[in-house]
Amino acid sequence: MILQPEEAKVSVYDRGFLYGDSVFETIRTYAGEPFALDEHLARLERSAGRVAIPLPLPRADFALEIRRAIRAARNPESYVRAMITRGSGPMGLDTGLAEKALRVVLVEPLQALPATMYRDGVAVTTFKTRRAADEVAQGAKVSNYLTSMMALKEARAAGAHEALILDGSGDVLEGTTSNVFALTQGVLVTPPEEAGILVGITRAHVLEVAGELGIPVRVERLPLETLRSATEVFITSTLREIVPVVRVDGQEIGARVPGRTTRAIHAAFRQKVGLGAEPLPWEKAGD
């Protein structure tokens, strides 16, 4: 059923509302088509499995619903959030109280970042913590983003675009809604899944593109000192693609401008998604 936002209703007894008991995926379109939809839905299914939420319908049927919702929205390009909650039931932590899993697909117009962020790069801050979901549902994209929200709040107060989460040892894990890469001594380094990160879909495509370009890659722990001494740093996410980082906690990175490797990877990624003929994000006019 397709509804306008003001018509859609979710029970106050839904466990996604009460306990953050839900999983989700963020998907974007290119030329109106959802990019890497099968990969996103496969990860959604893995996330649901890790927190024991039964899928309310087969993946193929969910893909059809998402495509139908995108067409109905009629946006030039869309940002999609596909969400599954455990459902509603009497209050209590017992997951058996949930009656039936609920699915929701939200479709919004895609809002691109200002070209200046790609042209000049962004600043990030760091936030040391231990995420509650690391042990019980590592790798699941669950809806409890409290740590990330607090980290991003601090980052924005400092005038930064993103916050990078550090583990108890001071190693860089990921951003609040992004994965992180550092170019150090000519090698591209990104933290491994076993560190407790959410393995991003864009991250996987960037690793593939880097291999095609002949850029050496290591998936390994990323100490904060290594990040700060890197020649280039960038973050990746579904909505932002690849964003160069030029300052970490106020310290300038490399030459203080987006680097050639970052540019090359982003250009190759745009070719991969079918936008090779369009201006690159940092080439666009305006802010």
Q: For residue 273, what are its two tokens?
A: 């998604």
For the four alpha carbons of 9, 15, 16 and 20, in that order, the dihedral sign comes to positive
Q: What ranges in 51-114 are assigned the alpha helix state H? A: 59-73
Cβ partners under 8 Å of residue 50, min gap 6: 137, 138, 139, 140
Cβ partners under 8 Å of residue 146, min gap 6: none
Strand partners, 232: 183
Reduced to 3 states (helix: H, G, I; strand: E, B; else coil), residue 281 is helix
Q: Using an 8 Å Cβ cutoff, are 98 and 88 in contact?
A: yes
Cβ partners under 8 Å of residue 2, min gap 6: 68, 69, 72
Q: How far apart are CA 53 and CA 21, in angstroms?
A: 9
128 is catalytic: no
Q: Which of 9, 141, 153, 272 is catalytic?
A: 141
**Which candidate, 18, 63, 9, 61, places its Cα nearest to that of 41?**
63
Give me the active site residues, please. 141
